[in-house]
């Protein structure tokens, strides 16, 4: 706020200065005058961003970030670079926010608010999604000297991107999120920051920076953020379920999730090997009679897709509140209340959430209290505390 006021004052002074000049000298000092006022204003802007000057920044980087590669594999260095980029506010136009501002490790790499603040304090349109368990199909390929990205499963609430490499520059250029309208200016901006020459050199054998290398490095870092150590996964990854590793109430919740309430048919948290995440398809779960956000429908223009969204994976769900694409529910209790008796008769309501009348009426589960307790215990068993506290995924910047 202070920055904005300062900007206005300085810009105002600049304009007055120009007017005076014009009056007194009647010459065309307009251009230098405007340039002067803009540059002073921009300098004032830079000063008060929440990024300390580079000289005051140091980095704490572990040897290994990517979990798939041996210690000598250069992809570890690429992922390490990606980690720095992910947390570096320099990727926003006014160096105010980073990817990590809206994707917080402690919140399962989602945000803990309904909508997130972008670089100029404007709110995002949707609730931030957690970044975890990105399909391994999407791991970028660095073997040809440049970065190749393969398409994979649907990303974003409405699936509008299926290529992680292309996705990375979307928040960078987004006018609400990070605001760098032209990503081709990013390499020279980063080249002026002392710590990047070494990081790029270690990763790619050259300190030359390209938008593709930036995307590739962030993509590789993101790809390395995988769950696997939640109580549920540890119990399941033993070749079938090892019931002794879950409490009876967690087991009961799992059964309810899978059978009685059929949650698993959309969220597919319990797959063949227990680590399956989501069906990556789009459904309407009856949040509204008339959805205000068309979701998938905005992309396809198809009436049958209006109000359809991705059913998110539920790992770390206890940490990613608030819930749904618009963050309308604050707690898991609110979510269970909704599925219990709040589902709306929306035109595209999924058949699995309709009752047996055949009239498209929403199902009323009226979930009894003991089932809620069990469902919640099960959902809590999906939290991977290792992932959300692992130093190798944490913010590497140390500000003095």
Contact call for residues 311 and 300 (beta carbons, < 8 A): no
Closer by beta carbon to ligand HEC, 37 or else 101: 101
Contact call for residues 111 and 103 (beta carbons, < 8 A): yes
- Report in angstroms how near the CB of residue 382 gets to ligand HEC at its nearest: 10
Q: How far apart are CA 299 and CA 233, in angstroms?
A: 35
- Asked if 203 is part of the footprint of ligand HEC (rule: CB under 6 A), the reply reads no
- Report in angstroms how near the CB of residue 386 gets to ligand HEC at its nearest: 20
Contacts of 285 (CB under 8 A, 6+ apart): 266, 309, 311, 343, 349, 350, 353
- Report in angstroms how near the CB of residue 267 gets to ligand HEC at its nearest: 6
- Asked if 393 is part of the footprint of ligand HEC (rule: CB under 6 A), the reply reads no
CA atoms within 13 A on the CB side of 43: 6
Contact call for residues 118 and 177 (beta carbons, < 8 A): yes
- Report in angstroms how near the CB of residue 282 gets to ligand HEC at its nearest: 7
Q: How far apart are CA 62 and CA 79, in angstroms?
A: 11
- Asked if 221 is part of the footprint of ligand HEC (rule: CB under 6 A), the reply reads no
Nearest to residue 175, comparing CAs of 134, 224, 125?
A: 125
Q: How far apart are CA 324 and CA 108, in angstroms?
A: 15
Nearest to residue 80, comparing CAs of 63, 103, 58, 97?
A: 63
* Cα angle 347-361-156, degrees, rounded to a multiple of 5: 45
Q: How far apart are CA 203 and CA 14, in angstroms?
A: 45
Stretch that binds ligand HEC, among 60-68, 127-135, 191-199, 235-243 (CB under 6 A): 127-135
- Asked if 177 is part of the footprint of ligand HEC (rule: CB under 6 A), the reply reads yes
- Asked if 168 is part of the footprint of ligand HEC (rule: CB under 6 A), the reply reads yes
Closer by beta carbon to ligand HEC, 37 or else 395: 395
Which residue of 190, 235, 266, 382 would you call a contact of ligand HEC, by CB under 6 A? 266
- Report in angstroms how near the CB of residue 273 gets to ligand HEC at its nearest: 20
Mask of contacts with ligand HEC, 52-91, x by CB under 6 A? ---------------------------------------x
Residue count (the chain): 400
User: Residue count at the site for ligand HEC (CB under 6 A)?
Assistant: 47
Closer by beta carbon to ligand HEC, 177 or else 250: 177
Residue with tokens 């599925």: 339
Q: How far apart are CA 317 and CA 314, in angstroms?
A: 5
Structure tokens at 292: 């205000």
- Report in angstroms how near the CB of residue 33 gets to ligand HEC at its nearest: 35
- Asked if 128 is part of the footprint of ligand HEC (rule: CB under 6 A), the reply reads yes
Stretch that binds ligand HEC, among 3-11, 225-233, 346-354, 389-397 (CB under 6 A): 346-354
Contact call for residues 151 and 162 (beta carbons, < 8 A): yes
- Asked if 261 is part of the footprint of ligand HEC (rule: CB under 6 A), the reply reads yes
Which residue of 89, 118, 253, 362 would you call a contact of ligand HEC, by CB under 6 A? 118
- Asked if 131 is part of the footprint of ligand HEC (rule: CB under 6 A), the reply reads yes
Structure tokens at 293: 């956000």
Mask of contacts with ligand HEC, 291-330, x by CB under 6 A? ------------------x-xx-x--x--x--xxx-----
Which residue of 79, 138, 155, 180 would you call a contact of ligand HEC, by CB under 6 A? 155
What are the distances in angstroms from CA 116 to CA 185, 366, 385? 25, 33, 23
Applying CB under 6 A, the residues found at the interface with ligand HEC are 91, 97, 99, 101-103, 116, 118, 124, 126, 128-129, 131, 155-157, 167-168, 171-172, 177-178, 218, 261-263, 265-267, 283, 285, 287, 309, 311-312, 314, 317, 320, 323-325, 335, 339, 350, 352-353, 375
């Amino acid at each position: 706020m202070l920055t904005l006021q300062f900007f206005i004052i300085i810009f105002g002074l600049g304009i007055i200065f120009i007017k005076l000049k014009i009056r007194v000298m009647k010459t065309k000092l307009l251009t230098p005058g405007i340039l002067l006022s803009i540059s002073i204003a921009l300098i004032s802007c830079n000063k008060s961003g929440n990024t300390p000057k580079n000289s005051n920044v140091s980095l704490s980087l572990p040897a290994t970030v990517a979990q798939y590669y041996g210690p000598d594999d250069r992809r570890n260095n690429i992922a390490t670079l990606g980690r720095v980029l992910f947390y570096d506010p320099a990727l926003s136009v006014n160096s105010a926010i980073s990817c990590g501002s809206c994707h917080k490790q402690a919140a399962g790499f989602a945000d803990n608010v309904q909508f997130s603040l972008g670089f100029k304090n404007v709110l995002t349109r949707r609730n931030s999604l957690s970044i975890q368990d990105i399909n391994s199909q999407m791991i970028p390929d660095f073997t040809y000297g440049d970065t190749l990205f393969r398409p994979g499963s649907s990303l974003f609430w409405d699936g509008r991107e299926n290529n992680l490499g292309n996705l990375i520059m979307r928040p960078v250029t987004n006018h609400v999120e990070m605001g760098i309208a032209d990503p081709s200016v990013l390499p020279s901006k980063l080249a002026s920051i002392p710590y990047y020459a070494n990081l790029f050199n270690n990763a790619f054998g050259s300190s030359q920076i390209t938008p593709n290398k930036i995307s590739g490095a962030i993509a590789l870092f993101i790809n390395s953020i995988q769950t696997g150590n939640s109580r549920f996964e540890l119990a399941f990854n033993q070749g079938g379920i090892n019931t002794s590793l879950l409490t009876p109430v967690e087991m009961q919740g799992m059964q309810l999730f899978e059978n009685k309430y059929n949650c698993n048919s959309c969220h597919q948290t319990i797959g063949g090997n227990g680590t399956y995440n989501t069906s990556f398809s789009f459904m309407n779960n009856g949040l509204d009679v008339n959805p205000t956000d068309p979701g998938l429908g905005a992309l396809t223009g198809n009436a049958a897709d209006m109000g359809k969204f991705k059913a998110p994976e539920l790992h770390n769900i206890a940490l990613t509140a608030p819930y749904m694409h618009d963050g309308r529910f604050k707690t898991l209790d609110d979510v269970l209340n909704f599925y219990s008796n709040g589902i709306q008769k929306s035109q595209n309501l999924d058949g699995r959430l309709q009752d047996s009348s055949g009239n498209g009426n929403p199902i009323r589960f009226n979930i009894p209290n003991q089932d809620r307790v069990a469902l919640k215990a099960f959902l809590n068993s999906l939290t991977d505390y290792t992932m959300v506290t692992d130093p190798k995924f944490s913010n590497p910047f140390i500000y003095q």
